[in-house]
Copies of this chain bind each other. A is one copy, B any other.
Amino acid sequence: MKNVAVLVKKLPTPKSPKKVAITELPGHSIRRLQQIAVSLFMEHTKKHGVTPVQYAALEEIFKSPGLDQRSLATAIRFDTSTIGGVIDRLEKRGLVTRNASPTDRRVRLLELTSEGEHVLAAMQPTVQRAQHAILAPLSETEQVLFIALTKKILAANESLAAVTD
């Protein structure tokens, strides 16, 4: 009787692992999805030399000229410690300017240069095509469904990661 109690009581981590098919895990599928989305984006927008992350930054700065880095990061879900480097690269390419705020000396205000606006305008159609390409394997109905399901997951996890505020 005592033996049984001991056996039942322990139940530690199983001695040997089970064989898990990585491919079947949602996490892995999502990682693959991301690899594919980035790959298609880069393929379609190759001639502009702008990454998906940089594109998102350009788009947001265009929508809200003069916003600060932190607000930008929050808006497009970058980590605040990443945003600096992204802006560095855009600034170096002359697509973005970063000026000290006259009212708050901590803040760097972001704006597109005319070159930045030009590049953004030029690449928008290619970005659209890339987005279509990602969902292309799905029917119209399936695409709507996929987007809805995705949004549902995102909505339930808004606070997770890259939301520094």
Interface pick from A2-10, A18-26, A85-93, A103-111:
A18-26
- Between A and B, 7 residue pairs with Cβ closer than 8 Å are A14-B124, A19-B63, A26-B131, A26-B134, A27-B38, A36-B161, A38-B161
Q: Which residues from B are CB-within-8-Å of A124? A: 14, 17-18, 20
Q: Mark out the residues of chain A between 42 and 60 whose CB falls within 8 Å of any chain B CB in the assembled complex.
A: 52, 56, 59-60
**Number of this chain's copies in the complex:** 2
Q: CB distance A30 to B22 under 8 Å? A: no
Q: A residues bordering B, Cβ < 8 Å?
A: 13-20, 22, 25-41, 52, 56, 59-60, 62-63, 75-77, 117-118, 120-122, 124-125, 127, 130-131, 134-138, 142, 145-147, 149-157, 160-162
Q: A137 CB to closest chain B CB, in angstroms? A: 3
**Shortest beta-carbon contacts, A-B, top 4:** A137-B156, A13-B122, A39-B161, A35-B161
Assuming A28-B56, A29-B150, A76-B22, is B35 touching A121 (CB within 8 A)?
Answer: no
Residue from B19, B77, B135, B160 within 8 A of A26 (CB atoms): B135
Q: CB distance A30 to B134 under 8 Å? A: yes
Assuming A146-B146, A149-B138, A161-B35, is B22 touching A56 (CB within 8 A)?
Answer: yes
Assuming A29-B154, A134-B27, A152-B138, is B16 touching A160 (CB within 8 A)?
Answer: no
